[in-house]
Copies of this chain bind each other. A is one copy, B any other.
Amino acid sequence: MIYFTLLAKDSTTAARAGRLATPHGEVQTPAFMPVGTQGSVKAMLPAELRALGAEILLANTYHLSLRPGAPLVRRAGGLHAFMGWDGPILTDSGGYQVFSLAALRRIDDEGVRFRSHLDGAEHHLTPEAAVEIQEDLGADIAMVLDECPPFPASREEVAQAVARTLRWSERCARRAGRADQALFGIVQGGVHLDLREESVAGTVRLDFPGFAIGGVSVGEPRALQRKIVAHVAPLLPADRPRYLMGVGFPEDILEAIASGIDLFDCVVPTRHGRNGSVFTREGLINIRNAIHAEDFRPFEPDCPCPACAGFTRAYVRHLVLAKEITGVRLCTIHNLHFYLSLLAGAREAIAAGRFGPFHDAFLARFGRPHAADPGAGTGEA
């Protein structure tokens, strides 16, 4: 299964550094998981992800179960063999994408009925099926099926989702049988702190080896998201890894690390990269802008990533405007490097007990986000 070891705690924040041992190797935390939606981190090969410092990937059960299908992945030897990544993998339960992508959803206590966004075929996702599919995929970490209400939702809807998620979590835990796979619980509760507390209490009682905060990055204002994370994280067992699902922008991740979160995933670096939006220490730039047309410097002069080491903003702008795949690749490589090296810097800072100053110095250059903006979404279409 997994073993989580706390290695360091920051001096002035709740940030913590640790090591997560899995059947496919170790992950230094806090860690960012690049998203391999359909069994491939878009435009990247596994060896390139490894070279950028990625230690764990996320893959989406909804997408993989519709195509190529979980039984095929099992016959391929599991997701690690299928996609050629021998490091740790986490799969989500598929629930989030059912709610955000599929048509004709009908949810009851038994599970969710939906139609595939690919061919309209009807499927029934139950807690037991979510576990079975994830066992076929064979990731190191699987997630319980949860009900994730949108924002805004009525308090009653959120309370019902909390209760249903707890019932589903128990059914998932009962069905889970792979000795080499850890099943994480998920806390729901929307923006209601008392419902969050209720969800934490019930989920912790089920004694999962790791806990996720779900139901964030669903459209709520950034300030509310931060309040939820800061409230919920310290309620979770200190000796288990904490995963904040689908968050987010760099500033959101640093803030959540300060609250004691260990694991992150988000499509922002890859999706933004495909659109020519590039992260720099001075903030986001859009490489399509005319200002970069004759800028013969790299994205960032001191960046050691393969994109910055070999190519200029002018060239990448040309490639992106000309719709060349190579342009997408260079932006994606740099953005993933930006995220992964940001997390590496955070780990170092925590170990040195100076995460607070690290966080402030980053924001001073990068710019502070607006508290009212919604955070980044988790789903990749």
CB distance from A277 to the nearest CB of B (A): 17
Give the nearest-CB partner of A43 in chain B.
Answer: B325
Identify which of A68-76, A135-143, A148-156 touches chain B.
A68-76
Residues of B within 8 A of A9 (CB): none
Q: Is the Cβ of A38 less than 8 Å from the Cβ of B322?
A: yes
Identify which of A183-191, A207-215, A220-228, A310-318 touches chain B.
A310-318
Per the bound structure, the CA–CA distance linking A310 and B50 in Å amounts to 14
Per the bound structure, the CA–CA distance linking A280 and B117 in Å amounts to 35
Q: Is the Cβ of B326 less than 8 Å from the Cβ of A42?
A: yes
- Residue count of chain A within 8 Å CB distance of chain B: 40
Q: Is the Cβ of B39 less than 8 Å from the Cβ of A315?
A: yes
**Shortest 10 CB-CB distances between A and B: which pairs?**
A43-B325, A40-B326, A68-B318, A84-B310, A38-B322, A40-B324, A84-B311, A82-B315, A325-B325, A40-B319
- Given A39-B319, A83-B315, A315-B39 in contact, is the A46-B293 Cβ separation under 8 Å? no
Q: Is A305 an interface residue (CB 8 A)?
A: no
Q: Which of A38, A42, A44, A328 has the most CB of B within 10 A?
A: A38
Per the bound structure, the CA–CA distance linking A317 and B38 in Å amounts to 12
Per the bound structure, the CA–CA distance linking A75 and B293 in Å amounts to 11
Q: Is A321 an interface residue (CB 8 A)?
A: yes
- Given A72-B293, A294-B72 in contact, is the A318-B67 Cβ separation under 8 Å? yes
CB distance from A8 to the nearest CB of B (A): 35
Q: Is the Cβ of B324 less than 8 Å from the Cβ of A325?
A: no
Per the bound structure, the CA–CA distance linking A84 and B296 in Å amounts to 12
Residues of B within 8 A of A328 (CB): 325
Per the bound structure, the CA–CA distance linking A41 and B324 in Å amounts to 9
Give the nearest-CB partner of A324 in chain B.
Answer: B40
Partner of A38, one of B67, B84, B310, B324: B324
Residues of B within 8 A of A337 (CB): none
Chain A, range 322-378, C-beta contacts under 8 Å to B: 322, 324-329
Residues of B within 8 A of A38 (CB): 318-319, 322, 324
Q: Digitize A13-48: 1 where CB-to-B-CB distance is under 8 Å, 0 elsewhere.
A: 000000000000000000000000011111111110
Q: Is the Cβ of A315 less than 8 Å from the Cβ of B76?
A: yes
Give the nearest-CB partner of A66 in chain B.
Answer: B322
Per the bound structure, the CA–CA distance linking A83 and B318 in Å amounts to 10
Per the bound structure, the CA–CA distance linking A294 and B82 in Å amounts to 11
Residues of B within 8 A of A43 (CB): 325-326, 329
